[in-house]
């Protein structure tokens, strides 16, 4: 009799409301970056975009389960809500954080190189994605992740069917 091999490790699911909360905070931060850049406070706008870029990096590298805004959600918001109807695979939102990191990093690097218009442009692009996620539960980075998985470019996550 043969024994079945070890099952693929399953990732712990996350509360899908956490990334939406994080997207709302991110949208506010990015809106502040755009406003500051447009009123001439380009140095402050660049610094704030750099800080948000670091938050994106944290989420992309450490996973959304350890994201600073997610921890804020878990500590302050989730205890006041009922349990989520279902849990979500953390891979798509973690990938989305990587997309946000790429967009924001381009803005920061170009801003440091003297292309000041890149800061509000990058912030606006990331703001659109964050706003769509926060307001309508439509995660552009997650959709890109699923598209790349279907195309075979990315491996299927262990939690995916």
Cβ neighbours, 10 Å, residue 59: 26
Q: What is the pLDDT of residues 27-84, one digit of tens each?
A: 999 999 999 999 999 999 999 999 999 999 999 999 888 899 988 999 999 999 999 9
Which CA distances in Å does 49 have to 28, 65, 91, 122, 158? 12, 22, 24, 9, 33
Task: Check residue 8 and give its pLDDT.
Answer: 44
pTM of the full structure:
0.86
For residue 157, what pLDDT band results from cuts at 50, 70 and 90? Answer: low
Task: Check residue 5 and give its pLDDT.
Answer: 44
Average pLDDT, the chain: 91
């Amino acid at each position: 009799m043969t024994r079945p091999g070890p099952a693929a490790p399953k990732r712990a699911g996350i509360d899908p409301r956490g990334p939406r909360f994080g997207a709302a905070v991110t949208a506010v931060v990015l809106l502040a970056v755009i406003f500051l850049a447009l009123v001439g406070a380009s140095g402050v706008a660049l610094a704030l975009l750099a800080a948000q870029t670091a938050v994106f990096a944290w989420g992309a590298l450490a996973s959304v389960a350890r994201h600073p805004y997610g921890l804020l959600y878990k500590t302050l918001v989730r205890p006041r809500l009922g349990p989520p109807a279902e849990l979500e695979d953390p891979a798509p939102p973690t990938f989305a954080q990587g997309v946000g990191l790429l967009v924001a990093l381009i803005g920061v690097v170009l801003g440091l190189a003297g292309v000041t218009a890149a800061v509000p442009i990058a912030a606006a692009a990331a703001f659109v994605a964050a706003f769509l996620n926060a307001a309508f539960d439509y995660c552009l980075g997650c959709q890109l992740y699923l598209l790349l998985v279907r195309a075979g470019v990315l491996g299927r996550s262990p939690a995916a069917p």
